Amino acid sequence: MNGSDPEVARRLAVCEELGLGALPGLIAASAEPFEIVGPGPAFELACRNEVNGRANACRLAIAHHGEGKMAVLFYRVSTAPGATNRFGYGGLAVAASRLRPAHLESWLRYLAAAFDWRTAPRGLRREFQFPVPGPD
């Protein structure tokens, strides 16, 4: 994890505000090369591993979604030079009070597997009716 970057400290504060206090420890303990990314309002995470010989372009974004809730969004960034496209792979609406470390682990596993459907988190919805937070 890119923990020495000052921007990462700010992003980790967003993580704490969302009630995801266990997530930084899970990221640090993982053998996967997770990296905190994105300047936007959400907490965003990438996995810099290779899957089937290709760079993993998948991302996870977590943002406030009303009182005591969060939206967990899974998307892939375009690998074309200069492209800013994002392709959605589903999302979850989660009550912070019901969140457990096993949920966080399943999100990280899905991200590291480049959204292999066999590793999809329980309750993943392919369509959802809330906005996807983007960069500021």
- What mean pLDDT do residues 42-47 have? 89
Q: Are 63 and 11 in contact (CB under 8 A)?
A: no
Q: Which tokens hold the place of 13?
A: 């504060």
Number of C-beta neighbours around residue 48 at 10 A: 13
Q: What percent of the chain has pLDDT over 70?
A: 89
Answer yes or no: is pLDDT of 4 > 90.
Answer: no
Residue 136 has a pLDDT of 43
pTM of this prediction exceeds 0.75: yes
Q: Is the CB of residue 62 less than 8 Å from the CB of residue 43? A: yes
Query: Which is more confident, 67 or 50?
Result: 50
What confidence score (pLDDT) does residue 52 get? 92
Whether 33 shows a pLDDT value over 90: the answer reads: yes
Could you tell me the residue ranges of all domains in the chain? 6-119
Cβ count near 114 (within 10 Å): 19
The CA angle 135-35-112, to the nearest 5 degrees, is 105
The chain-wide mean pLDDT, for the chain, equals 84
Segment 89-134, tens digit of pLDDT: 889 988 988 889 999 999 999 999 999 999 999 999 887 665 555 5
What is the rounded CA–CA span in Å between residue 77 and residue 112?
14
